[in-house]
Amino acid sequence: MKTRDSDIVKADTERTSSRILEMLDVKGKVTETGAMTSPCSDYDSAEEVYRESHPWSIYKASFADMQKGVERLRAELPKDGWKIVKDGRDGSQLNSPQIIAESKGREFAVDVRLHKASKVGNSPPLLEVTVESACYRAK
């Protein structure tokens, strides 16, 4: 496992998120969050092993536009060095479409879920994206 500077990993995670947003090319509002550092649960808690996670969503866009964005992403990810490891349904109550992909070299993973508008809770359509870095030891 690599030892890395967490600020650099955080910046790389946010840059990767921006690239995913470019590939989606959906005109709507984007939540403004930054990457967050969290412990990697896959490792012994005595080790200081972390990952960066950058969750964000696109809202105030039509479901049809979001669907087109997911189709673009499905086509563009492999061209951009990503391997799609899951392309199906997320198994939630809404059974939303989901794409999970890993970057070449597995430095990053992305989880994309497309949620229809729901009358329960009056939820609008939402395109949910989470980009995560590989686990690393902090310098």
Average pLDDT value for residue range 64-82: 96
Beta bridge partners of 57: 128
Mean pLDDT of the residues in the chain: 91
Looking at the predicted structure, is the pLDDT value of residue 120 above 80?
no
d(C-alpha 80, C-alpha 20), whole Å:
10
Give the domain range for residue 69. 3-138
Number of domains in the chain: 1
Q: What is the pTM of this model?
A: 0.91
User: How many CB atoms lie under 10 A from the CB of residue 63?
Assistant: 15
Where in 5-81 does DSSP place strands (E)?
A: 29-30, 36-39, 49-59
9-57 pLDDT, tens digit per residue, is 999 999 999 999 999 999 999 998 889 999 887 666 667 899 999 999 9
Looking at the predicted structure, is the pLDDT value of residue 1 above 80?
no
Confidence of residue 95 (pLDDT cuts 50, 70, 90): confident
d(C-alpha 129, C-alpha 7), whole Å:
21
Looking at the predicted structure, is the pLDDT value of residue 122 above 80?
no
d(C-alpha 49, C-alpha 44), whole Å:
8
Place of tokens 């490891």: 85
d(C-alpha 68, C-alpha 117), whole Å:
16
Pairing of strands 126-133, 136-138: unpaired
Yes or no: say if 109 and 101 are a contact pair by the CB < 8 Å rule: yes
DSSP string across 98-139: EEEEEEGGGSEEEEEEEE--BTGGGBPPEEEEEEEEPPEEE-
Residue 92: give its domain's CATH number.
Answer: 3.30.2030
